């Protein structure tokens, strides 16, 4: 089959790889219908050292079950399924606590002889615990929105949930990428009335307004902090959703948080130190967030996608076929595309 392999920064190829097949009785093989390029795929695209064997890419996909191991119950060949961006047994103690990203028998796509999602098919380990059946057909108009349950919308939702967003909280979202816009939609869904979106790309912030942002702040750094404070009576917001991952974004997040507020971060951190000193202690902030256990959220979010209450798939503004994936990476890196959908 054909699949995406990254060989180093800026070097993504689509090439022949071995066909996936059931290896363990807990595996399934899924033929991919839709996949996504993730903002987190762009970090290695910008920094990965050259490698001879390369690395299989992609962890957001949905598709059709083609084959099943003997121990996989609850799924049938021909089922349309979506996967969270990590696979998990969904039965261990961490999974029972809703933290499938820490599953004792789980792992990541594209590592340890497991396929990536940006290809024609994927061997899915722990298929029973991992895959969620979708009650739609292969020609459903909802596939793009359903695909966001793999990662990007669940990540925005996780950011809002861990921050404690509710109808009683004001919210700032930092970042107008696909995760930031998803966080706006998630905050709106959880009832927030004031949602301030910090971002400077008008096309993206316009979608943010449609998703529920009440104000857009284009300024960055200290200027952006002052703008948010001006819009909130000088105090900042109760909840801050940091969806960028840079140190500056984290500093801005603490800057716009109301005293006693919560900062949740879901961007892949490109820093290893942050503002944790005396000033912060006096202001009583909480820092939370992390990798989203998408598997814990899919069933809860699915009905709202199926009935059209939310359309998280609007973050996809470009579609390519598998051969177009290298150009999709380039387009997202050059900020030509917000998020790229891969159609089989
Ligand atoms: Zn588990």
Task: Kindly list the distances between the CA atom of residue 2 and the CA atoms of 14, 17, 41, 150, in Å, as whole numbers in the listed order.
Answer: 6, 6, 18, 21
Measured in angstroms, how far is the CA atom of residue 326 from the centroid of ligand 1?
34
Options 3.40.50.720, 3.30.1050.10, 3.40.50.10860, 3.40.309.10; which CATH number does 155-289 get?
A: 3.40.50.720
Mean pLDDT of 55-76: 98
Measured in angstroms, how far is the CA atom of residue 92 from the centroid of ligand 1?
4
- The token duo for 263 is 């900062």
**pLDDT at residue 140 in the model:** 98
Measured in angstroms, how far is the CA atom of residue 142 from the centroid of ligand 1?
29
Strands 171-174 and 61-68: unpaired
Nearest alpha carbon to residue 48 among 4, 2, 17, 11: 11
Q: b/e string for 231-263 if b means 16 or more Cβ within 10 A?
A: bbeeebbbbbbbbbbbeebbbbbbbbbbeebbb
Measured in angstroms, how far is the CA atom of residue 296 from the centroid of ligand 1?
11
pTM attached to this predicted model: 0.97
pLDDT surpasses 90 at 267:
no
Nearest alpha carbon to residue 320 among 333, 330, 334: 330
Task: Kindly list the distances between the CA atom of residue 218 and the CA atoms of 45, 194, 240, 330, in Å, as whole numbers in the listed order.
Answer: 27, 17, 16, 25
**pLDDT at residue 146 in the model:** 98
Q: Which residues contact 168 (CB under 8 A, 6 or more apart)?
A: 238
pLDDT surpasses 90 at 277:
no
Q: Which residues line ion ligand 1, judged by CB < 5 Å?
A: 88-89, 92, 95, 103
Measured in angstroms, how far is the CA atom of residue 162 from the centroid of ligand 1?
20
Strands 257-265 and 11-16: unpaired
**pLDDT at residue 327 in the model:** 98
Q: Indicate the length of the chain as a whole number.
A: 344
CATH 3.30.420.40 corresponds to the domain 2-151+293-343: no
Give alpha helix (H) positions in 87-134. 93-96, 127-130
Measured in angstroms, how far is the CA atom of residue 51 from the centroid of ligand 1?
32
Give CA–CA dist 145/109, Å, rounded. 21
Which tens digit of pLDDT belongs to each residue from 180-218?
999 999 999 999 999 999 999 999 999 999 999 999 999
% of the chain with per-residue pLDDT over 90: 96
**pLDDT at residue 229 in the model:** 98
Task: Kindly list the distances between the CA atom of residue 321 and the CA atoms of 120, 171, 178, 253, 313, in Å, as whole numbers in the listed order.
Answer: 11, 37, 20, 37, 17
Measured in angstroms, how far is the CA atom of residue 98 from the centroid of ligand 1?
9
Q: The tokens 């009683």 sit on which residue? A: 168
pLDDT surpasses 90 at 168:
yes
Measured in angstroms, how far is the CA atom of residue 94 from the centroid of ligand 1?
6
Which tens digit of pLDDT belongs to each residue from 23-54?
999 999 999 999 999 999 999 999 999 999 99
- Is the CB of residue 185 less than 8 Å from the CB of residue 211? yes
Q: b/e string for 98-121 if b means 16 or more Cβ within 10 A?
A: ebbbbbebbeebbeeebbbbbbbb
Measured in angstroms, how far is the CA atom of residue 329 from the centroid of ligand 1?
32
Domain ranges of the chain: 2-151+293-343, 155-289
**pLDDT at residue 42 in the model:** 95
Measured in angstroms, how far is the CA atom of residue 83 from the centroid of ligand 1?
15
Measured in angstroms, how far is the CA atom of residue 297 from the centroid of ligand 1?
15
Measured in angstroms, how far is the CA atom of residue 96 from the centroid of ligand 1?
7
Measured in angstroms, how far is the CA atom of residue 319 from the centroid of ligand 1?
33
| Residue 87 vs residue 344, higher pLDDT | 87
- Is the CB of residue 31 less than 8 Å from the CB of residue 340? no
**pLDDT at residue 319 in the model:** 98
Measured in angstroms, how far is the CA atom of residue 106 from the centroid of ligand 1?
6
Which tens digit of pLDDT belongs to each residue from 69-112?
999 999 999 999 999 999 999 999 999 999 999 999 999 999 99
Measured in angstroms, how far is the CA atom of residue 87 from the centroid of ligand 1?
9
Q: The tokens 């994927």 sit on which residue? A: 122
Average pLDDT, the chain: 97
Which tens digit of pLDDT belongs to each residue from 296-307?
999 999 999 999
Measured in angstroms, how far is the CA atom of residue 231 from the centroid of ligand 1?
43
Measured in angstroms, how far is the CA atom of residue 102 from the centroid of ligand 1?
7
Give CA–CA dist 178/190, Å, rounded. 18
**Residue 227: enclosing H or E segment and its boundaries?**
helix 221-231
Give 90: exposed, middle or buried? Use CB within 10 Å, 0-12, 13-18, 19+: buried
Local structure of 25: helix, strand or coil: coil
Measured in angstroms, how far is the CA atom of residue 308 from the centroid of ligand 1?
31
pLDDT surpasses 90 at 276:
no
């Amino acid at each position: 089959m054909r699949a995406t392999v990254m060989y180093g920064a800026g070097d993504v190829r689509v090439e022949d790889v071995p066909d996936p097949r059931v290896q363990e009785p807990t595996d399934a093989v899924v033929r991919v219908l839709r996949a996504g390029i993730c903002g987190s795929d762009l970090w290695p695209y910008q920094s990965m050292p050259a490698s001879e064997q390369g690395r299989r890419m992609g962890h957001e996909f949905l598709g059709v079950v083609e084959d099943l191991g003997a121990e996989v119950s609850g799924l049938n060949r021909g089922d349309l399924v979506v996967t969270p961006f990590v696979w998990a047994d969904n039965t261990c103690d961490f999974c029972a606590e809703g933290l499938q990203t820490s599953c004792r028998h789980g792992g990541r796509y594209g590592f340890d002889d497991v396929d990536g999602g940006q290809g024609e098919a994927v061997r899915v380990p722990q298929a029973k615990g991992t895959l969620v059946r979708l009650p739609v057909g292969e020609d459903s108009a909802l596939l793009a929105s359903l695909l966001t349950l793999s990662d990007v919308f669940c990540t925005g939702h996780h950011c809002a949930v861990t921050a404690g967003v509710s109808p009683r909280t004001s919210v700032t979202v930092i970042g107008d990428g696909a995760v930031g816009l998803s966080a706006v939609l998630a905050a709106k869904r959880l009832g927030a009335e004031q949602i301030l979106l910090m971002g400077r790309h008008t096309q993206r912030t316009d979608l943010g307004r449609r998703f529920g942002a009440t104000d857009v702040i284009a300024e960055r750094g200290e200027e952006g902090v002052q703008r948010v404070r001006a819009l909130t009576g000088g105090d900042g917001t109760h909840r801050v959703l940091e969806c960028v991952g840079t140190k500056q974004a984290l500093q801005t997040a603490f800057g716009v948080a109301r005293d006693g507020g919560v900062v949740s971060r879901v961007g892949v951190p490109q820093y290893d130190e942050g503002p944790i000193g005396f000033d912060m202690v006096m202001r009583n902030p909480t820092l939370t967030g992390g990798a989203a256990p998408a598997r814990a959220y899919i069933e809860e979010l699915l009905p709202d996608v199926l009935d059209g209450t939310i359309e998280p798939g609007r973050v996809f503004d470009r579609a390519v076929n598998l051969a177009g994936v290298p150009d999709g990476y380039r387009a997202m890196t050059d900020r030509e595309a917000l998020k790229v959908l891969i159609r089989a």
